[in-house]
Chain A
Amino acid sequence: MLTLPCPFCGQRDETEFLNTGPTKPARPSSDVTDSEWINWLTVPVNPVGYVEEKWWHVKGCGKYFTIKRHTVTHQIKMPDEDSA
């Protein structure tokens, strides 16, 4: 069973969490073109490799946290770790 590192509760079972999707890059400033804005709004990252994503410990402490998870191996890293 996959476990996730909640910063408050420690390693907990995946079924306690809700995946809230990959993290978005910073919101662009107001002087971007329409197409850049649409791109930011609609295009998520979809790597075969580490994806930085947010999880919500909805059936636990309620904390939101960010991790990097490999989309093939499910290996988990902290966001500040090297993603190589």
Chain B
Amino acid sequence: MSRFSAFSLAWNALSHHQKWTRYWQNPPLAKKYDVLIIGAGGHGLACAYYLAKNHGISSVAVLEKGWLGGGNIARNTVTIRSNYLRDESIPFFVKSVSLFEGLAKELNFNLMYSKRSMIDVIQTYPKMREIRRRMMNGYLHGSSYTPIDVGELRRRVPALTGGGPDSRLPIIGAMVHEEAAVCRHDGVAWGYARSASARGVEIHQQTEVKSLLRDKDGQIKGVETNRGTVLADKVAVVVSGHTTTITETAGLSLPVKSFNLAAFVSEPVKPLIDVIVNCPDLGVYLNQSDKGELVIGGAPDAGQSFRRDMKQSVFEDAVVTMLELFPAFRRLKLLRQWGGVLDIAHDASPIISATDISGLFVSCGWWGGFKAVPAGGYTLAHLIATGQPHQAAAPFTLDRFHHLDFIVESGTTTAR
């Protein structure tokens, strides 16, 4: 892997940028690996990278049905934050946020990381109470959450002209999460893939896993793909919304349901909003990308879905509620919309766990999984390599369902 630097940029300019090396290699698919990771998204590639870097396991193949970074890693609204509610969750996401801060340097890849803080706009007293509870729990675990009044909110977000005293839901205050950041999400996938490939990890795109294979003792022995059988003693399923589709081929059901969550972007405009604005009472959140587009997200669809589109009713809800607070956005044209399939456990916390099938690991239940990519990959790699859950992810195993000891989380989109 040639390193990216000002010098390499100047050197390649001399050859008109025709001699850059490939980000990752495309070796032929072997018959057997030590570890198979299903899904070349953020979590899968991060896991492969940390397996090679922290645990010295480089006989790893990442199998991807479509193309690298084409799933939910490219479908989220790029927000990185740690303002969760539970004692178990906050340290995990604090770890992830801190890994993100040093990630561009570690991967030698410009992720366009921009720490810009997130402001929660509060319009009801129950939400204010809930968010103050999150503030106090955040203080205990090193995640900042600072209340500001309405005047200060309007100073920081001048475009926010709605929600006045005569409106349906007047704004009563706001909470600032300083650590929140955005970064270029597909850069995260490409950066991890490049660094993992340099350490010997193989990435196989357009390799669809049809089913999981078990030996006569019930232990996992490999997978059946559209390119033939691949064997491995350890298989990790890291496929976001389709986790149950894969695990059910080996007879394993999981306590998750899949939902469709959509987002859309406006036409690019001049710099207008330099923070991430979240409106939990209305169920809409937005930030402005480096290109100037407003990236807007809303609520999930009602009912299970694998569609990856945007429902008209969800779209209307998000636009109408956004215009209540940002009436000037009425004149914006919207450019495109998309959806992604996520699976969620009913306590809204993730699952990073070994399963009842020996050798099979799952990382699922990610609702807002982009912010958790580094910590999710780090802890899953630890689990696969050592057999023991990493301390930060120990609460998030399937055991919590066996013991009905749920981590009911409120800091996510579903909790609305």
Q: Contact residues of A with B, CB < 8 Å?
A: 1-2, 13-15, 17-19, 21-22, 35, 38-39, 41-44, 46, 48, 51, 53, 69, 71-72, 74
The residues of B that contact A21 with a CB separation of less than 8 Å are 257
Q: Give every chain B residue within 8 A of A41 (Cβ-Cβ).
A: 404
Question: When the two chains form their complex, are residues A48 and B245 in contact, meaning their CB atoms are under 8 A apart?
Answer: yes
Contacts of A14 in B (CB 8 A): 302, 313
In the complex, what residue of chain B is closest to A37 when comparing beta carbons? B404
Report if B164 contacts A (CB, 8 A).
no
A-B contact pairs, 16 of them (CB 8 A): A1-B313, A14-B302, A15-B313, A38-B404, A43-B255, A44-B346, A46-B253, A46-B257, A48-B242, A51-B303, A69-B303, A71-B303, A71-B306, A71-B307, A72-B305, A72-B307
Interchain CB contact under 8 A, B312 and A51: no
Q: Which residues from A are CB-within-8-Å of B401?
A: 38, 42
Interface set, chain B 244-259, CB cutoff 8 A to A: 244-245, 253-258
Among B245, B257, B258, the most chain A Cβ lie within 10 Å of the Cβ of B257
B19 within 8 A of A: no
Question: Chain A binding site: helix, strand, loop or mixed by DSSP?
Answer: mixed
| Cα distance, A51 to B402, chains bound together (Å) | 25
B307-339 CB mask vs A (1 if < 8 Å, else 0) is 100011100000000000000000000000000
Nearest Cβ distance between residue A2 and chain B, in whole angstroms? Answer: 7
B343 within 8 Å of A (CB atoms): yes
Q: Are A19 and B244 closer than 8 Å at their CB atoms? A: no
* Contact of B304 (CB < 8 Å), options: A2, A18, A35, A71: A71
One of B258, B302, B313, B404 near A46 (C-beta < 8 A): B258
- The residue from A1, A19, A43 contacting B303, defined by CB atoms under 8 A apart: A19
B402 engages A38 (CB within 8 Å) = yes
Across the interface, A2 reaches (CB within 8 A) one of B245, B306, B313, namely B313
Interface centre among B245, B304, B312, B401 (most CB of A within 10 A): B304
Q: With A38-B401, A39-B253, A48-B245 given, is the CB distance from A1 to B312 under 8 Å?
A: yes
Are B313 and A44 in contact, with the CB atoms below 8 A? Answer: no
Asked whether, in the complex, the Cβ of B306 is within 8 Å of the Cβ of A48, the reply is yes
- B307: nearest residue on chain A (CB-CB)? A72
A17 touching B313, Cβ below 8 Å: no
Complex contact B311–A71 (CB within 8 A): no
Taken together as a complex, chains A and B put the C-alpha atoms of A39 and B356 apart, in Å, by: 13
Q: Are B303 and A44 in touch, CB under 8 angstroms?
A: no
CA of A74 to CA of B257, assembled, Å: 16
Query: In whole angstroms, what is the CA distance A22 to B255 when docked?
Result: 13
Q: A41-B404, A43-B253, A46-B304 are in contact. List 17 more A-B contacts (CB 8 A).
A: A1-B312, A14-B302, A15-B313, A18-B302, A22-B304, A42-B255, A43-B254, A44-B346, A46-B254, A46-B256, A46-B257, A46-B258, A48-B242, A51-B304, A53-B304, A71-B258, A72-B306
